[in-house]
Each structure stands twice: as structure tokens, then as C-alpha cells.
């Protein structure tokens, strides 16, 4: 140890090229105090900026370019409104509520997002995935309350909020509530909570939660949910009256029930479903094939709904063949009502995944289309907007909303310029609410199911992309498959949880099994790279340059050490143990007067084929205290067998962690001789130090 210290002292120290700035870090208490002072300041400009930030429409609407924007906004708004009407009625099948509530939801969501949203193109309203998640909770609570889930009788006028004579009812907020009233009360309570969660996430800046929802995981989750939606709607195609399965394994159990009751298929519903699906698919194919020639999307859904309604009404399909129909859809608006606080504890946990998925889809779509069209959005304001798109409508008998990709793409492709198009869409829905809603009385439920199933074509087609995903990234493909199967075979909520946890485990696994490299130098240059990946590289004489391509923390400490020992070929503990044993043998030989004492001394003082290890830290983004302790122990252990350990290409946060861990000594006295800004500088220093050691040993 003394000899080594002498060597270190005599080795010339390279001049310091870079000098760290001295930063005065603000204490947490003073930082918090400053933030609080800024937040409580009140002035007219601050109030004005806050209101404009909360209602972005106040800023952009006065600057609206009427001649330039109005035609695109009106056209896209009309088209989206025409698409919204049949979808709003259809998605109520998924949500387990009456069709009128889907129209309410579409109307209020468009108006509120117009006032509060920062995206010009996003279409906010009912979304199949949100409707399915709401419907599962609604059916569960109806079942627990004792309602008959097989009851397909026509809905009563919901404005009465009373049960029919002789029917089951429950008391809710001091009123007797029938099945339809109880269903929308559950949906509204859950929607209110989801909105509150989203607003709280915006207030506390918790938007970072969405970064844990990776694109492959969300993609697989959406595909699995689409398969669940298809399964849930399959019974309507066949006209079967079977309840939605409660609990895990909905897909498997529902298909078992369908095949067990296949002999009860309603032939009229089956024929109607076949005709409607054929027309819808043909319309979609024509739309995709001739999208360059067609300036506006074909209103296939509206044509199918209108035609099917007329056929059902004049053919008296409900009376003659017993087909299930939508039933009475009232006109006008139901008086607002406070969501039931008594139901909220029952659905509080169910609202969490609803809130997360809703804001994740909304924010991601907003940013995607903003980038495409050359403007910016404020993610935090988007969370507030979608939160209030859930809170306020929950008082008006609505269920959870989100941005929808398909309708947003239609808005973008039909010339939408601003959210004025959302007002036009809301007016179309309002027109139906006030005048045309009762005309959908005889619309068969199987037609609505056909609209839902055909709308899933895009998500279900992603199965064809699995081989391409596998070739591009096996890790992403596995995450996609796990999220998809967990969502489809277990449940929506657990599928989301499994997908998130599995994606994070994959990241942890990658950091525990990173690529390690032994670096060589390109001739005549200062470039060092992986000798296994590149040809014509030369290993520096008597120096090992090791690269570890992952953060160093408690979970992969052992992996780092084992890979280093394996790569350089020397484990210090084993080498030191061997030397001690050899020294003991040499001592015994000298005591006994044996003739092999020189051999024992040679074993003790045997020279290794390298004298320095350079750790290239360019691929190590951070270390924790365990990682710093690992570096410190490594330097000490190799120093005991005469090998120096140098560090190169460390970022500033890494250097700070090493200093806190006293890797360079208590006063950082060894920093100048151990830390280098480049691999080449460390290699040059190692060569000079090694030559100096050799000269001293010869002397």
C-alpha cells in the first residue's frame, strides 16, 4: 500500500481542462416559500391570464378567421355530428344505459371541450373502451342490487326517475329508482369521480403518470379491450338474451354461454346483422380505397340506421319476430341532478383506471395532432378539460368521455381548423335530441351492435402487425401480447395493471442484463469502440477498457461485478486469495529449507498481463448509493493486487454521486488521478503511470 501511494505521488497529474461551476442550491424551504408567494399573488393581469389559461377559447375565438376557417369547421362538424348520432346510441349498449344518455354525453362533452380544450382537432365524446369499462361496473352494481340483467323491456320515460308498478326498485337519494335510473346513477357517480381524479392530477402536476403507459402496452390493451367489446356484442347479433358475465374471464365465459344458447338464435336478428355488417364493411372498404377521391366520409352508419329503423318499423319486426329494439327515446333534456354520493364509495376504485385511460388517450391524441398540424397544446390544460368534460356532464346524466382516434382523424381529414367544429357537432346532436330521437324507437339492438363491431376493425387488424412488431423489437412485441391477452382473458382493469407492471419489469430486466463491452482503439485515432462489434480495433497494451451500458443501482450491482470480472479475466478476491496461499507456501518452504523457495516467491509476485482498468461510464446515466459503494469497493480491491481503476466519460450527476460516496477519498484528493473526460485521456494517463511503475520496478 505504501509503495502504491509513492507511485501515485510520483505519477504526473494531467492538467485540469474543465472546471465545475459552483452552484448555490436553494433550500427546499425557501423554494417552497417562494412558490407559495408567487401562487397567492393577486393582480388584474394575473387574474386575466388565469382565466384565459382556464378558458383558452377566450384567447383564440376573437382571432377566428371567418372566411378561412368557417367552411372546414362547418363541414367537419356536420360530418362528425352525423357519425356521432348512431354511435352515441350504439355505445349505450356497452355502457348498460339507455340510448338518450349517449346523446346527452356527446352534446355536453363537445360544448365543454370547445371552451376548455387546447387542441384544435381532437374530438371528445363517447369512446368504445370507456363505454365498456363503465358498462362492466354498471352491470355489476345492477346485479348486486338484485335487478334482472336479462330484462330487455322497453325503457320507461327516464325523466320520471321512478320505477314501474310491480317492478323492482331501490331507494336512492330519497327517491325510488328503477333499473334504468339506477344504471345511469352508477355511471354518473363513477364519471364524477373520474373527473375529480383527473382535475386533481392536473392540479398536482401528475401528468407524468401517463409516461408509464407505453405505446406497445396501450396498443395491446386497446386490442384486448376491442376483442372484449366484440365478445360482449356478439349476443345481440344472434338475438340471444344472456346476461353479461360478472367477474374475471368475461370473454371465455361469454362465448361458452353463447354456444350453450346458440339454438335460441333469433333468425331475424341474425339476417339483419349479416346485412348490416356487409353494408358497413363495404362502405368502409370503399372509403379506404377511394379516400383520395372522396372529399367527405361516406355516412354509412347513418344510412344503415335509417334504413334498418324504417324496415323494423314497417315490417313490425319486434312484434312478429321478437327482435330487441332500442325502445322509447324521449326528446328534450332531463333536469340536472347531483350525482349520488352514496354510490361513490362503491365505484371509487373503478373510477381510477377510467380516469387514467381517459386522460392518457386525450393527451396523447392532442399532442399527436398538434405536432402534425404545427401548433402546441398544454397537456395540463388538456387534463383539466377532460376532467371537467366528466365532472359537469355527470350532473346531466352522462357517462365517461375521452378523445376518440377515429373521429379525430375524420375531423382532421375533412378540413377542421378549430374547435368551432365541436359546436357544430353538438348542434347536430341537439337537433336529434329535440326532434328526431323518438323515431329511433324501432331500431334493432343488433344494428347498434353491428356499428360497434365494425368500428373495431382498425384495432383488430393490429393482429396482422405482430410479426412486424416482433422483428422490430421482441421486447415491445411481448409487452403487446401480454397486455392484449391479460385484457382479453382476465379483465379490463387487471389487463391494464398487468400491462403496466410487465412493461416496467421488462425495463428492469433490460437493466439487469445489459450489454457489456471490451473496448479497443481505432489505429491512429482517439476513438475507442466495442471490439466484438467493430473490426480493425487494437486493445491498448496492458490496459482493459470496460463499458457497462445501463444505470448502476442495487438491482444490477452483482451483474456489473460478474460481467467486469469475466471480461477482464481477473477477480481481485480470488487473485488475492491465491497470492496469500502462495505466500504461505513460500514461507513454509523457506522455513523448512526447501529448494523451491524461488518458485513460491514467483507465485506471490506474479505479474498480470494488465495494470489498469478504465471504466467507460458514458453509457451509465446514473448510479445510486449502492452503485457508488460498488465503485468504491472495486477501486480498493483492485488496488490491493496492483491494478489501478480509472473512470472516464462520467456525467456530472454521476460525478456528484461518486463524490458523495467518497469514491475519490474523503476530500476528493484522488479525483484528478482517477476521473477523466475521455477514454483516450484515461488510457494515456494509464500508459504513463504503467511506464513509471515499470521503471521503478527495474530500479
Residue 124 to residue 105: CA distance in whole angstroms:
10
Q: Does position 616 have pLDDT exceeding 80, yes or no?
A: yes
| Opening angle at CA 394, ends 183 and 195, nearest 5 | 115
Quick: pLDDT tens for 397-429.
999 999 988 888 888 888 889 999 999 999 999
Q: Tell me the CA distances in angstroms from 360 to 187, 243, 342, 503, 684, one per residue in order.
A: 20, 31, 28, 16, 51
Residue carrying C-alpha cell 377511394: 290
Band of the pLDDT at 5, cuts 50, 70, 90? very low
Higher confidence at residue 613 or residue 23? 613
How far is it, in rounded angstroms, from Cα 584 to Cα 52?
A: 82
User: Confidence class of residue 7 from pLDDT cuts 50, 70 and 90?
Assistant: very low
> Is residue 531 very low, low, confident or very high in pLDDT (cuts 50, 70, 90)?
very high
pLDDT surpassing 50 at residue 160: no
Q: What is the CA radius of gyration of the chain?
A: 35
Report yes or no: 468 and 460 within 8 Å, Cβ to Cβ.
Answer: no
Inter-residue contact 549 to 516 (CB < 8 Å): yes
Q: What is the mean pLDDT of the chain?
A: 85
Q: What is the dihedral of CA 76, 77, 82, 86, to 10 degrees?
A: 110
How many C-beta neighbours within 10 Å does residue 614 have? 27
Alpha helices by DSSP H, 351-465: 351-373, 379-394, 405-413, 420-431, 445-454, 457-460
> What pTM did the predictor assign?
0.79
pLDDT tens-digit series, residues 474-507: 999 999 999 999 999 998 888 988 999 999 999 8
What are 322-347's pLDDT values in tens digits? Answer: 888 888 888 889 999 999 999 999 99
CA distances from 160 to 175, 176, 548 (A): 11, 10, 70
> What are the pLDDT digits (tens) for 100-145?
999 999 999 999 999 999 999 999 999 888 999 999 999 999 988 8
Cα torsion through 132, 137, 141, 144, rounded to 10: 100
Quick one: pLDDT at residue 463? 86
Instruction: Determine if residue 463 is left, alpha or beta; phi over 0 gives left, psi from -120 to 50 gives alpha, anything else beta.
Output: alpha
Amino acid at each position: 500500500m505504501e509503495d502504491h501511494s509513492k507511485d501515485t505521488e510520483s505519477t504526473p497529474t494531467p492538467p485540469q481542462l474543465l472546471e465545475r461551476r459552483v452552484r448555490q442550491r436553494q433550500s427546499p424551504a425557501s423554494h417552497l416559500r417562494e412558490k407559495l408567494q408567487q401562487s397567492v399573488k393577486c393582480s388584474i393581469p394575473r387574474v386575466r391570464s388565469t382565466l384565459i389559461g382556464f378558458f383558452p377559447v377566450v384567447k383564440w375565438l376573437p382571432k377566428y378567421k371567418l372566411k378561412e376557417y368557417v367552411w372546414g369547421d362547418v363541414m367537419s362538424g356536420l360530418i362528425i355530428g352525423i357519425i356521432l348520432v348512431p354511435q352515441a346510441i350504439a355505445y349505450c349498449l356497452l355502457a348498460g344505459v339507455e340510448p338518450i344518455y349517449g346523446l346527452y354525453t356527446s352534446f355536453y362533452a363537445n360544448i365543454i371541450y370547445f371552451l376548455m380544450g387546447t387542441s384544435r382537432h381532437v374530438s371528445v365524446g363517447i369512446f368504445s373502451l370507456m363505454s365498456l369499462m363503465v358498462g362492466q361496473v354498471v352491470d355489476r352494481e345492477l346485479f348486486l342490487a338484485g335487478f334482472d340483467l336479462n330484462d330487455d323491456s322497453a325503457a320507461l320515460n327516464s325523466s320520471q326517475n321512478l320505477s314501474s308498478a310491480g317492478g323492482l326498485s331501490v331507494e336512492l337519494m330519497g327517491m325510488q329508482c328503477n333499473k334504468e335510473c339506477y344504471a345511469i346513477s352508477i355511471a354518473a357517480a363513477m364519471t364524477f369521480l373520474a373527473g375529480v381524479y383527473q382535475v386533481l392530477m392536473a392540479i398536482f402536476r401528475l401528468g407524468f403518470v401517463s409516461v408509464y403507459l407505453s405505446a406497445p402496452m396501450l396498443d395491446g390493451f386497446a386490442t384486448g379491450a376491442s376483442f372484449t367489446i366484440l365478445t360482449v356484442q356478439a349476443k345481440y347479433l344472434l338475438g340471444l338474451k344472456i346476461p353479461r358475465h360478472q367477474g374475471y374471464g368475461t370473454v371465455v365465459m361469454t362465448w361458452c354461454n353463447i354456444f350453450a344458447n346458440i339454438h335460441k338464435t333469433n333468425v331475424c336478428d341474425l339476417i339483419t346483422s349479416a346485412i348490416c355488417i356487409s353494408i358497413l364493411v363495404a362502405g368502409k372498404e370503399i372509403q379506404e380505397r377511394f379516400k383520395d377521391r372522396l372529399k367527405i366520409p361516406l355516412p354509412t352508419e347513418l344510412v344503415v340506421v335509417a334504413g334498418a329503423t324504417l324496415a323494423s318499423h314497417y315490417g313490425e319486426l319486434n312484434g312478429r319476430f321478437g327482435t330487441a329494439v332500442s325502445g322509447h327515446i324521449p326528446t328534450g333534456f332531463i333536469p340536472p341532478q347531483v350525482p349520488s354520493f352514496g354510490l361513490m364509495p362503491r365505484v371509487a376504485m373503478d373510477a381510477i383506471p377510467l380516469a387514467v385511460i381517459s386522460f392518457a388517450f386525450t393527451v396523447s391524441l392532442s399532442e399527436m395532432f398538434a405536432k402534425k398540424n404545427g401548433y402546441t397544446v398544454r397537456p395540463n390544460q388538456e387534463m383539466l378539460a377532460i376532467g371537467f368534460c366528466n365532472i359537469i356532464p355527470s350532473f346531466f346524466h352522462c357517462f365517461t368521455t375521452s378523445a376518440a382516434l377515429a373521429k379525430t382523424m375524420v375531423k382532421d381529414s375533412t378540413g377542421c381548423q378549430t374547435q368551432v367544429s365541436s359546436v357544430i357537432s353538438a348542434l347536430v346532436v341537439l337537433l336529434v335530441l329535440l326532434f328526431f330521437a323518438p323515431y329511433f324507437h324501432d331500431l334493432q339492438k343488433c344494428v347498434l351492435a353491428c356499428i360497434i363491431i365494425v368500428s373495431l376493425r382498425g384495432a383488430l387488424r393490429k393482429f396482422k402487425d405482430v410479426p412486424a412488431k416482433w422483428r422490430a423489437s421482441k421486447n415491445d412485441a411481448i409487452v403487446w401480447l401480454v397486455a392484449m391477452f391479460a385484457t382479453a382473458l382476465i379483465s379490463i382493469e387487471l389487463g391494464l395493471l398487468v400491462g403496466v407492471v410487465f412493461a416496467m419489469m421488462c425495463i428492469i430486466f433490460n437493466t439487469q442484463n445489459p450489454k457489456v463491452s471490451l473496448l479497443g482503439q481505432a489505429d491512429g485515432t482517439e476513438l475507442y469502440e466495442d471490439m466484438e462489434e467493430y473490426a480493425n480495433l487494437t486493445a491498448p497494451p496492458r490496459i482493459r477498457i470496460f463499458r457497462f451500458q445501463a444505470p448502476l443501482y442495487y438491482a444490477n450491482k452483482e451483474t456489473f461485478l460478474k460481467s467486469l470480472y469475466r471480461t477482464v479475466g481477473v477477480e481481485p478476491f480470488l487473485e488475492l486469495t491465491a497470492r496469500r496461499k502462495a505466500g504461505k507456501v513460500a514461507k513454509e518452504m523457506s522455513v523448512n529449507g526447501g529448494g523451491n523457495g524461488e518458485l513460491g516467491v514467483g507465485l506471490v509476485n506474479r505479474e498480470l498481463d494488465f495494470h489498469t482498468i478504465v471504466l467507460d461510464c458514458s453509457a451509465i446515466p446514473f448510479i445510486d448509493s449502492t452503485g457508488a459503494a460498488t465503485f468504491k469497493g472495486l477501486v480498493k480491491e483492485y488496488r490491493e493486487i496492483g491494478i489501478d481503476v480509472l473512470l472516464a466519460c462520467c456525467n456530472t450527476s454521476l460525478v456528484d454521486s461518486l463524490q458523495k460516496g467518497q469514491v475519490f477519498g474523503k476530500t476528493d484528493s484522488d479525483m484528478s488521478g482517477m476521473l477523466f473526460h475521455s477514454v483516450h485521456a484515461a488510457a494515456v494517463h494509464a500508459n504513463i503511470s504503467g511506464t513509471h511503475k515499470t521503471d521503478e520496478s527495474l530500479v
